[in-house]
Amino acid sequence: MKGVYFLISTLAILASATFLVSASDPSPLQDFCVALNDTKSAEAVFVNGKFCKDPKLANANDFFFSGLQNPRNTQNPLGSNVTAVNVDNLLGLNTLGISLARIDFAPNGLNPPHTHPRATEILVVLEGTLYVGFVTSNGDGNRLFTKVLNKGDVFVFPIGLIHFQLNVGHVNAVAFAGLSSQNPGVITIAKAVFGSQPPINPDVLAKAFQVDDNVVDNLQKQFWYDNN
Amino acid sequence: MKGVYFLISTLAILASATFLVSASDPSPLQDFCVALNDTKSAEAVFVNGKFCKDPKLANANDFFFSGLQNPRNTQNPLGSNVTAVNVDNLLGLNTLGISLARIDFAPNGLNPPHTHPRATEILVVLEGTLYVGFVTSNGDGNRLFTKVLNKGDVFVFPIGLIHFQLNVGHVNAVAFAGLSSQNPGVITIAKAVFGSQPPINPDVLAKAFQVDDNVVDNLQKQFWYDNN
Amino acid sequence: MKGVYFLISTLAILASATFLVSASDPSPLQDFCVALNDTKSAEAVFVNGKFCKDPKLANANDFFFSGLQNPRNTQNPLGSNVTAVNVDNLLGLNTLGISLARIDFAPNGLNPPHTHPRATEILVVLEGTLYVGFVTSNGDGNRLFTKVLNKGDVFVFPIGLIHFQLNVGHVNAVAFAGLSSQNPGVITIAKAVFGSQPPINPDVLAKAFQVDDNVVDNLQKQFWYDNN
Amino acid sequence: MKGVYFLISTLAILASATFLVSASDPSPLQDFCVALNDTKSAEAVFVNGKFCKDPKLANANDFFFSGLQNPRNTQNPLGSNVTAVNVDNLLGLNTLGISLARIDFAPNGLNPPHTHPRATEILVVLEGTLYVGFVTSNGDGNRLFTKVLNKGDVFVFPIGLIHFQLNVGHVNAVAFAGLSSQNPGVITIAKAVFGSQPPINPDVLAKAFQVDDNVVDNLQKQFWYDNN
Amino acid sequence: MKGVYFLISTLAILASATFLVSASDPSPLQDFCVALNDTKSAEAVFVNGKFCKDPKLANANDFFFSGLQNPRNTQNPLGSNVTAVNVDNLLGLNTLGISLARIDFAPNGLNPPHTHPRATEILVVLEGTLYVGFVTSNGDGNRLFTKVLNKGDVFVFPIGLIHFQLNVGHVNAVAFAGLSSQNPGVITIAKAVFGSQPPINPDVLAKAFQVDDNVVDNLQKQFWYDNN
Amino acid sequence: MKGVYFLISTLAILASATFLVSASDPSPLQDFCVALNDTKSAEAVFVNGKFCKDPKLANANDFFFSGLQNPRNTQNPLGSNVTAVNVDNLLGLNTLGISLARIDFAPNGLNPPHTHPRATEILVVLEGTLYVGFVTSNGDGNRLFTKVLNKGDVFVFPIGLIHFQLNVGHVNAVAFAGLSSQNPGVITIAKAVFGSQPPINPDVLAKAFQVDDNVVDNLQKQFWYDNN
């Protein structure tokens, strides 16, 4: 009877798809650790980062991603579209501390103020003209550093600082960005503050932004598009 | 003549106070590395973190700070006051990866939405009642996690996430917070976005917050108080 | 039938408890990684740190701990009592690199010489008067750094160094301490050396402490109270 | 007079150039730490990474690099040309853990087998067709993972593993690569082994490569072009 | 039937001890994390590093390895033999960031040019005379640093750099080496480049080494002995 | 006159080579960072770890140490002698995260209970028979793990835990140890607790060790030999 119980109990672990997880780290502890594909189980068990597949079963496709050659649809309220290539869709990046993104901008398109809690970003412009900038922390006086970038120009956004990119040219713009984490994370400021689920107590936001309650109310009722 | 030049050139290094710096790290590489006191020289040379004083000259006072017993003045637009004890005023913390803060709140006082780019925060309430919360990143759906805390309650704000504390009691409130860095950094969202120096291009903010240009204009004209 | 299966399979995870573990790290690789609760299974599998629960199931209570407002019982041989709030009882701390402790002292109460192998400690006195100190490593000459602390005073104990706190006032004392790890560990020197299980060969201790075998014998027969 | 003194003292820092260095780290310990420009002094003092300039003097140009839009000259023995954008020419990258490269290939152009001792590489093809691959370590059986990449395809080369890219198309090819370090380093295998300064003892190479001494002799006499 | 199969295959994970894995890290997050023994299951799940056994079941044998006193057989094409003591055969090393090796050399025996992608090596000669060296990266000019070592001499090979040891004495030589990782990895240059599975496209190697195709062909047909 | 003094005292920094310092780190950020030699200046400036010399001036001797072949004098109260090869005497180890030690034991010689605050130790016995052990932390019950080691046996002492080695054979014993830091540090328990400079308040020690004041007094009056 104990054997049967054991069988069943063991079943739970894989059958209910617990091992979606994969261990990722600041530094890999073997040649690579290809992430196991996430599944949709409610009883999931995770580790910091992602679980890995058996290295003997790893192959070149685990380190491959295709499709960055195509412009993305920018017909949305922000006029921009971020295509991220990170550990969620390029499993071989697990534990390796880097990822990539393609960003498309319509004219006037904006990648709005946001932070990456776990990565610095280095951006290179492929087409078009971007006005970009970041703001330093309070202790540094919230200084704004900006630059207008043209084709072939590179700019750096240090980890954790609020930054943005705006297409100030008359045609579409495209940029590629490297990020110093396999899972950089994105926090779009306006969406996180006014579009959280559930909403933040309006008293907090009215006082923080020094505006009336009805301004906050209107902001919280808006639809906040996520271009990521 | 060369000797004279050498003398003078050498002088520059200390005399013009270049070595304010002190090397700090994720992990200390000796028992401790007490930070050298920062000076006001324009030709300063720095390292990641801070330079250290000669360890033979270190003494107990380098690891000591006094004065956290007293309530701070909260008569300001936010009704709150953060007293940080970090590597800037407790030099012995250099390289050791931790710091402390006392936060005073008047009734309705707010520590407005902000992030620490380099630290997780663990807060304990000493007096009063606080409504606290943090918002997860876009990939997690910008979920809001909140709690009302009373005396003796503890709450955790994970590194890089936007969080806040509001005094919802009728009397003053006091909290102590530990932070997982000797130099956590603070980015107050409203101040960094609308009060940066110089201001961010209003087109960026109007589009990001989906408001009219004159709303942005008014916000950028406000005085943004820094409670840190 | 499906429901029953689900119950059983779910049970397995917690009941047979194999994967209680949760991956913790110097740096989190996602917003957070709430630790799964440890269970008492002999077949347990662990990772460095702890396994995490499904982030979709995380909620505010995972980041909350209550009860630090109350004095703890100090009627024990040491006259002190450490209440630790770390990843073992505040699961949301997993991977976040910080924890907290409340320390109560009766008059003459002692938190005896100990080390934290994985954390620096920053202590603030809430009530009373403490004589505190730490000893540097051999290469630095085993120098003793001490200070008498009163209400509102702060002191730092660098990672890995032997340190202690003694209540030298006439009333109870209370301190809060932040520690730079979610699992700092504690090694109480006297208890680890003379109260290990099983005991260390007495020849080692007699020679190391330059005392007679019967002194060692008496020390090893004592009851070593753990105030943690 | 004070002004003159100041001039001289300042001169010393840059002219005698002793502290060109700047402290870089796995993680930044402030918002950023812009590298000081290296100079050519024999008395130089360095730190791990680079010294930083005074953060108050940092500006947007410190985070900016231009010129990646232009094809590079590939008329060399390898038919390839790597343009690296790292902490040596984009000083703001210091401490931030990421860098970038543009790689140009003539038809049949080769980026020969090499390792990056301090970085994983993620490569995206902008134009042309590349045959790329990496070899795992001995413990994994020195398995070769290869792929033919077209425009928009992405591939990952894990840290420390030997890898290469060959233009197998009929036209020029261009790729961009992100690297997980501000100073990844490059070791071109053939050049390091047969073109070191001074040469490695030929007995070592004859035995290691199982070839005659005269084969080694010829290889060591060749000119080894560095495409970096 | 599928259900039954699933049950059984799932069983493999725990019963056949798939959780060989164990979470290892740059820093341990508990006293130790003894690796679980690897097994041969195809459905294996892994983490970065290795899974750990229940710490309550750990004992002194988990931290013990025997047999380094005996000379190893050096009758092979290289005349050398590396006996590694790392996390694969000394499970207690998991998460602890160090390992050991004994290297035996026949007269003229060679430990051929190789890199450790995850470790610096410090070597001490017990018997005999070794000619040792390493080559710096391209940016440093591929400089060769060499030394002849006798009994009691120590030499350091920095992480990621190509290095080698040759017995230049008339008798057997023995060295011990410490490595700064529990899983340092080894990439023997000649074997990885000319003996990969499958072989690298000969065009790559002919161009990289500036030799004829038939030289490459001969090299790729050789048997590449692995002395590790 | 003050100016002249200032000039001269400042001179000390560069001329007397104060910049001994060199930035060391968990990970090197270039091929190597050879430590500058420490000098005896009171105005010294330091960084976390050590400053480095100009890499262009580095040579093979920076990575070389000689003399470990000779037995050390063990005629001292402990009957043991530790010869450490770390960043203080092998400057090339700076930033590379590893060091070495030779330990000589007379019959009954003891390497007394101590901790390394910054390193795990892996020990191999070259000659003789050692009784070795370590004690886990309080949370693990202060369990003692011991083993008797003979020639060729290996044992691991995890970072931060109290451990010791005793020669239980009839002849001299010799061991080599690798340590996972270029500057591991040593804290000999008995010496740090009873031989600190100045002495710890006897009330602390009497209560901690549950002994009379005169026992503490006698212990504090002893001469504490340092075998490192």
| Tens digit of each residue's pLDDT (9 = 90 or more) over F158-175 | 999 999 999 999 999 999
Closest partner residue to B11 (CB to CB) among D9, D18, D29 is: D9
Touching partners of D (3+ C-beta pairs < 8 Å) = A, B, E, F
- Nearest by CB to residue C49, choosing from E29, E36, E57, is E29
Cβ atoms of residues C120 and B95 within 8 Å: no
Domains, chain E, in order of start with CATH, read 62-185 (2.60.120.10)
Chain B residues in contact with chain F using a Cβ-Cβ cutoff of 8 Å: 6-8, 10-11, 13-15, 19, 21-31, 33, 36, 47-49, 51-55, 57, 94-95
- Look at residue F222 and tell me whether its pLDDT is greater than 60: yes
CA E227 to chain C, closest CA, distance in angstroms equals 32
- Cβ-based contacts of E113 with chain D (< 8 Å): 193, 200, 204-205, 208
ω into F55 cis (within 30 of 0): no
**DSSP-derived secondary structure letter, F74:** -
Please judge whether A49 and C25 are an interchain contact, meaning their C-beta atoms are less than 8 angstroms apart. yes
Contacts of C148 in chain B (CB under 8 A): none
Is the per-residue pLDDT at D47 higher than 90? no
How much is the pLDDT for C44? 66
Query: Mean pLDDT across the stretch D79-96?
Result: 96
Q: What is the dihedral of CA D128, D131, D136, D138, to 10 degrees?
A: -150
In this predicted structure, the answer to whether residue B17 has a pLDDT above a threshold of 50 is no
pLDDT value at position B66?
A: 97
Residue B188: per-residue pLDDT: 98
Percent of chain D residues topping a pLDDT of 90: 76
Name, in order, each residue with C-beta under 8 angstroms of A30's C-beta and a sequence gap of 6 or more.
A55, E48, E49, E183, E185
Write the CB contacts of D196 (distance below 8 Å, at least 6 apart in sequence): E135, E142, E143, E144
Q: In angstroms, rounded to a whole number, what is the distance separating the alpha carbons of residues C208 and B7? A: 51
**Higher-pLDDT residue of E209, A38:** E209
Model confidence over C49-97: pLDDT tens digits? 888 889 999 999 999 999 999 999 999 999 999 999 999 999 999 999 9
Cis omega (within 30 of 0) for bond into C113: no
- Residue with more model confidence, B53 or D81: D81
- Is the pLDDT at D21 greater than 80? The verdict is no
Q: What is the mean pLDDT of residues F67-71?
A: 95
* φ/ψ bin of D98: left (φ > 0), alpha (ψ from -120 to 50), beta (otherwise): beta
Cβ-based interface (< 8 Å): residues of D facing F: 18, 21, 23-26, 42-49, 117-118, 181-183, 185
Please list every residue in chain F whose beta carbon sits closer than 8 Å to the beta carbon of residue B36: 45
Query: Minimal Cα–Cα distance from F167 to chain B, Å?
Result: 30
User: What pLDDT is recorded for position B51?
Assistant: 87
Average pLDDT over residues C149-168: 98
CA A157 to chain C, closest CA, distance in angstroms equals 19
Residue A171, CA distances (Å) to A78, B206, B207, D64 in order: 15, 21, 18, 23
Residues E21-45, mean pLDDT to the nearest whole number: 62
Contacting residues of F for D21, CB less than 8 Å apart: 23, 51-52
Across the D:E interface, residue pairs with CB atoms under 8 Å apart total 177
Mean pLDDT, residues F115-144 taken together: 97
Give contacts of F29 with chain D, Cβ < 8 Å: 24-25, 48-49, 118, 181-183
Residues of C in contact with E19 (CB under 8 A): 18, 45
pLDDT digits (tens, 9 = 90+) for E98-111: 999 999 999 999 99
Nearest beta carbon to residue B196 from set A110, A115, A142: A142
Give the whole-angstrom CA distance, residue A87 versus residue A183.
6
How many whole angstroms separate alpha carbon B68 and alpha carbon C126? 9
Residue among D1, D2, D25, D29 with most chain B CBs within 10 A, to mutate? D29
Question: Which residues of B fall within a CB distance of 8 Å from F25?
Answer: 25, 29
Which residues of B carry a binding-site annotation?
A: 111, 114, 116, 121, 163
What's the start-to-end Cα distance of chain C, in Å?
A: 47
Task: Measure CB to CB from residue C24 to each of E21, E29, E52 and give the nearest one.
Answer: E29
Burial class (CB in 10 A: 0-12, 13-18, 19+), B207: buried
Cis upstream peptide for A77 (omega within 30°): no
Q: Which chains touch F (3 or more CB pairs under 8 A)?
A: B, C, D, E
pLDDT for the residue F38: 56
Residue A100 near residue A79 (C-beta atoms within 8 A): no
Of B94-98, D17-21, D62-66, least confident by mean pLDDT is D17-21
From the CA of C98, how many Å to the nearest CA of chain B?
Answer: 6
- Percent of chain F, pLDDT > 90? 76
The proportion of chain F whose per-residue pLDDT surpasses 70, expressed as a percent, equals 86
Inter-residue contact D196 to D159 (CB < 8 Å): no
- D187 has a pLDDT exceeding 70: yes
What does the pLDDT read at residue F44? 67
Q: How far apart are the first and last CA of chain D?
A: 48
Q: Quick one: CA torsion of B154, B160, B161, B162, rounded to 10 degrees?
A: 100
Supply the DSSP symbol for A57.
Answer: G
What is the distance between the alpha carbons of residues C225 and C206, in angstroms, rounded to a whole number?
22
- Looking at beta carbons, which residues of chain A come within 8 Å of C30? 48-49, 183, 185
- Nearest to B133, CA basis, from C59, A225, C85: C59
Q: What mean pLDDT do residues F113-127 have? A: 97
Supply the pLDDT for residue A33: 87
> Are A23 and E26 within 8 A, CB to CB?
no
Nearest-CB residue to A185 (from C9, C31, C33): C31
pLDDT band at D75 (very low <50, low <70, confident <90, very high): very high
pLDDT of residue B14: 28
- Answer yes or no: are the C-beta atoms of F20 and F39 closer than 8 Å: yes
Dihedral pair phi/psi, residue A10, rounded to 5°: -65, -40
Tens of pLDDT along B69-111?
999 999 999 999 999 999 999 999 999 999 999 999 999 999 9
State residue B215's pLDDT score.
95
Interhelix angle C2-15/A2-15, rounded to 10 degrees, is 90
Residue pLDDT, tens place only, E131-187: 999 999 999 999 999 999 999 999 999 999 999 999 999 999 999 999 999 999 999
Whether residues D13 and B10 touch (CB distance < 8 A) is answered with no
Nearest CA in chain B to C92: B156
Query: Residue E223: is it exposed, middle or buried by C-beta count within 10 angstroms (0-12/13-18/19+)?
Result: exposed
- Note the pLDDT of residue A38: 57
**Chain Cα centroid distance, residue E136:** 20
Query: E38 pLDDT band (50/70/90 cuts)?
Result: low
| Residuewise pLDDT in 10s, chain A (228 residues) | 333 333 333 323 322 222 222 222 358 888 888 888 754 444 567 888 888 889 999 999 999 999 999 999 999 999 999 999 999 999 999 999 999 999 999 999 999 999 999 999 999 999 999 999 999 999 999 999 999 999 999 999 999 999 999 999 999 999 999 999 999 999 999 999 999 999 999 999 999 999 999 999 999 999 999 999
pLDDT range class, residue C111, cuts 50, 70, 90? very high
Would the CB atoms of F14 and D43 count as touching at under 8 Å?
yes
Number of B/C CB contacts below 8 angstroms equals 164
Contact across the interface for A15 and E6, Cβ inside 8 Å: yes
The answer to whether B68 and B23 are in contact (CB under 8 A) is: no
Min Cα separation C211/chain E (Å): 28
Spatial separation of the C-alpha atoms in residues C36 and C15, rounded to whole Å = 13
Interchain CB distance below 8 Å, D135 and E192: yes
Residues B168-214 pLDDT 10s: 999 999 999 999 999 999 999 999 999 999 999 999 999 999 999 99
D31 and A64 within 8 Å at the Cβ level: the answer is no
**Token pair recorded at residue F223:** 């001469």
Asked casually if ipTM beats, i.e. exceeds, 0.90, the reply is no
Size of interface D-F (CB pairs under 8 A): 66
Question: What is the separation, in whole angstroms, between the first and last Cα of chain A?
Answer: 51
Set of chain F residues whose Cβ sits within 8 Å of the Cβ of C194: 209
Confidence of residue C38 (pLDDT cuts 50, 70, 90): low
Which candidate, B69, A73, A33, D31, places its Cα nearest to that of C149?
B69
- pLDDT value at residue E8: 27
Distance from the Cα of A4 to chain C's closest Cα (Å) equals 12
The stretch D47-58 carries a mean pLDDT of: 89
CB–CB contact C48 E14 (8 Å):
no
Chain C residues near residue B133 by CB distance under 8 angstroms? 60
Whether residue F19 has pLDDT greater than 50: no
Residue with tokens 């701990």: C65
The pLDDT value given to residue F18: 24
Is C170 annotated in a binding site? The answer is no
| CA pair distance D200, D207, nearest whole angstrom | 12
